Amino acid sequence: MNFFSLAKRINRPLILDGAIGSYLQSLKVIANGSLWMSYANIRSPEKVLQLHKDYIKAGADIITTNTFRTNPTALKNFSKINPEKLVKKSVALALKARENLPVFIAGSNAPAEDCYQDERTISKKELIYNHHKHINLLMDAGCDFILNETQSHFDEIKIICSYCNKKSIPYVISFFVKDDLHLLSGEYLFDVIKIVPDYEPLAIGFNCIKPETFEKLLSKINKDINWGFYLNCGSGNYEDEIIKCGISPIQYVEQVKSSLKKKPSFVGSCCGSSPSHIKEIKNLIDERNKN
């Protein structure tokens, strides 16, 4: 059963959690190069566990594993780290936070290389291996579905979608786009969106984009499809090493409110956000469904 379809049918979007990396920064966790915050699963597991619990308490129906940078490409310069153990530890923390609650676990699968990188430095063979391996590790560790996020290269998107479809792996594909609504690889977003349904994702999404960019694409969204979003709430540039909140929970929920006419299947928040943002979304949706 597609739970995103059910959410659309009852007009009650599922609530996705918020930022992980920048929230861990606010808890004084230090990033580690290309691993970003994934090493926190080993170095500061109690803080990762608390983060997941905080989002669940705030009202999240879906929590995301801290695996944005546990993929083979990110780990290739860290030979002492066992990728299987790191992914398993990451997912185990999310599973522990969930306990017996009715919360879905989304396995975060990021682009193989940096999210905002125009040109690729790895081969197609390495790219395929990266995603096949990471997706398998996430599902084997106990994720309910794969959240392929911040994807902005068409060849990479096709590799992910084709593999998940072929292996009957439940997944969401979430796009990052430039202000002109084109992927980093150059394709127009809505030309790509026309192709993706052939690979049967649970839903499509948009993440880490600025609210003003989201406004440009919102009017073009087909409200009949399963779709959702979690926007960038940071105060600076995408590439900033330290990410601080620039959009308050109250400001962000106004953005969410304006999107509901398009019947999203899920709603969350991205870089710079916190459980306070998720709590405001929960309050909005609960209040709306009372009426």
Among candidate residues 12, 14, 23, 8, the one with its CA nearest the CA of residue 270: 23
Q: What is the pLDDT of residues 121-174, one digit of tens each?
A: 999 999 999 999 999 999 999 999 999 999 999 999 999 999 999 999 999 999
Maximum Cα interatomic distance, the chain, rounded to a whole number of Å? 56
Task: List the pLDDT tens digit at each of the 291 positions of the chain.
Answer: 799 999 999 999 999 999 999 999 999 988 877 788 998 999 999 999 999 999 999 999 999 999 999 999 999 888 788 989 999 999 999 999 999 999 999 999 999 999 899 999 999 999 999 999 999 999 999 999 999 999 999 999 999 999 999 999 999 999 999 999 999 999 999 999 999 999 999 999 999 999 999 999 999 999 999 999 999 999 877 776 778 899 999 999 999 999 999 999 999 999 999 999 999 999 999 998 876
- Token pair for residue 143? 């994720």
Beta-bridge mates of residue 63:
105
Dihedral angle computed from the Cα positions of residues 137, 138, 139 and 142, in that order, rounded to the nearest 10 degrees: 110
Among candidate residues 173, 45, 159, 57, the one with its CA nearest the CA of residue 108: 173
CATH of the domain at 107: 3.20.20.330
Whole-prediction pTM: 0.96
Number of domains in the chain: 1
Domain range for 22: 3-290
Give the CA distances from residue 70 to residues 83, 154, 217, 275, in Å, rounded to whole numbers and listed in that order: 7, 22, 31, 23
